[in-house]
Structure 1
């Protein structure tokens, strides 16, 4: 299937998918965020062809999610270290993990998030930044933001009640 950019959409999700929406990209980020930062480790755990992995790593470096750090001069070898932007992708990955645990892994979760501060299994949730309450499904709407187009301003709050 040919690649079609989302440039005609004024949407943060589309803009994010331009960077991380390719099939292997989130799996590569999963590995790096789990501490597997060398090419061979990532390739072994993801099962991706070397040319595709090289391309994905290059894209992630170009977009500032990873940086290359040399760990050996002879032979010259690099590892990939997450930047703040890359680490900030972790909640997205955890949310996908939770969705996959619920709907795509009938044998149970292959990995369980653990809160490092207390050492207990964690079930991260979306919270309101104003009142602190856990936001349940169906309790969010979206309104036009500062980057909205005229059409988005005209639509107003979505979904409509």
Structure 2
């Protein structure tokens, strides 16, 4: 079965998944945040087949999340370093870790975020930069942006209808739009 592509979607979630949605990619990025840069480091950490790791690293380079740099001429050897785009994924990774700790760690927390200077555990939350208010489902909603497609506008309208009349069944899904393309 051929993989579906979100490349033409206007949805920022779908476009982001186009670049990091494959689970190996996220694990490679996780290891890059731990400081791994070399092929053998990623392979040993992930226990991944070399051909699969090569494909994933090439995809992360093509997507602009990592940069391939030569560190040895004889023999030619390369390392994979996070770019600014890749480093900007760290808050997403932190949120993912926090969510996993909360819902999928029955044995207890294996990795947690701590303050680098004090060592105290940190409980990350998403906040509005302008107001400093914690973002929660009750006080914040998704809204269509200036470049929103008709499908995104319909999805936003669907959500508004559900909030206004939770017991009424609005007409959804909209025809066409931001579904993955073959």
Alignment of 1:65-84 (within 5 A): 65-84=65-84
Of 141-150 and 111-120, more deviation after overlay is shown by 111-120
Residue equivalent to 1:45: 45
Q: How many residues end up aligned between the 2 structures?
A: 161
Tell me the distance in 2 between the aligned counterparts of 1:136 and 1:153.
22
Q: 1:51 to 1:13 in 2, by over 3 A?
A: same
RCO higher in structure (CA 8 A, sep ≥6): 2
State whether residues 30 and 93 of structure 2, in contact with CA within 8 Å, keep that contact through their aligned partners in structure 1. yes
User: RMSD in angstroms over aligned alpha carbons?
Assistant: 1.9
Residue equivalent to 2:64: 64
Q: 1:145 to 1:158 in 2, by over 3 A?
A: farther
State whether residues 36 and 42 of structure 1, in contact with CA within 8 Å, keep that contact through their aligned partners in structure 2. yes
Tell me the distance in 1 between the aligned counterparts of 2:157 and 2:127.
20
TM-score, scaled to structure 1: 0.89
Q: Which structure 1 residue ranges, 5 or more long, are not aligned? A: none
- Bigger Rg over Cα: 2
Alignment of 1:1-20 (within 5 A): 2-7=2-7, 9-20=9-20
Tell me the distance in 2 between the aligned counterparts of 1:7 and 1:83.
21
Alignment of 1:83-102 (within 5 A): 83-102=83-102
